[in-house]
């Protein structure tokens, strides 16, 4: 069974080489051989990664030019962003609570410094 589109995108992104390919394509479209250069892997291995990215809709390949340049399809990443959106509020709340907690800690740290001074005069 083929994975749903969102699962296919996440699976395609679960590989550092494929993410590096996307980062390169974010700079502009290029050929497969050009894409393969910085990687210590074979051209067929790069082609396999490109196939995964293409099937997930994350890249497109021109059918016009003979060298079939690859390009990133950033709108497909927007779908991933749309899924994340529902959780954004959760981590923002978490950071807000952490922030409030740090302020409490800082307030507590200030107090002990004041007390010893107050205790010293009666001696």
Nearer to a second copy, 33 or 82 (CB): 82
Beta-carbon count within 10 A of 122 CB = 5
Task: Give the span between the Cα atoms of 13 and 20, in whole angstroms.
Answer: 10
CA dihedral (116, 118, 121, 123) in degrees, to 10, reads -50
Structure tokens at 15: 């590989």
Nearer to a second copy, 20 or 32 (CB): 20
Minimum CB separation of residue 40 from a second copy in Å reads 15
Cβ(25)–Cβ(72) below 8 Å: yes
Binding site for a second copy (CB under 8 A): 3-4, 6-11, 13-16, 19, 22-23, 26, 72, 74-75, 77-78, 80-81, 83-84, 86-88, 90-91, 94-95
Nearer to a second copy, 89 or 109 (CB): 89
**Residue 96: its H or E element:** helix 74-119
Nearer to a second copy, 67 or 83 (CB): 83
HSE-up (13 A, CA, CB side) for residue 32: 20
Minimum CB separation of residue 95 from a second copy in Å reads 8
Minimum CB separation of residue 85 from a second copy in Å reads 9
């Amino acid at each position: 069974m083929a994975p749903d589109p969102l699962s296919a995108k996440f699976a395609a992104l679960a590989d550092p080489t494929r993410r590096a390919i996307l980062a390169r394509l974010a700079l502009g479209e290029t050929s497969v051989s050009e894409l393969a250069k910085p990687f210590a892997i074979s051209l067929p291995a790069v082609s396999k990664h490109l196939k995964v990215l293409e099937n997930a809709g994350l890249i497109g390949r021109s059918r016009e030019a003979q060298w079939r340049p690859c390009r990133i399809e950033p709108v497909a990443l927007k779908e991933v962003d749309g899924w994340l959106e529902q959780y954004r509020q959760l981590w923002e709340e978490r950071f807000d609570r952490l922030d409030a907690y740090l302020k409490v800690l800082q307030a507590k740290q200030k107090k002990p410094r004041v007390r010893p001074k107050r205790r010293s005069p009666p001696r």
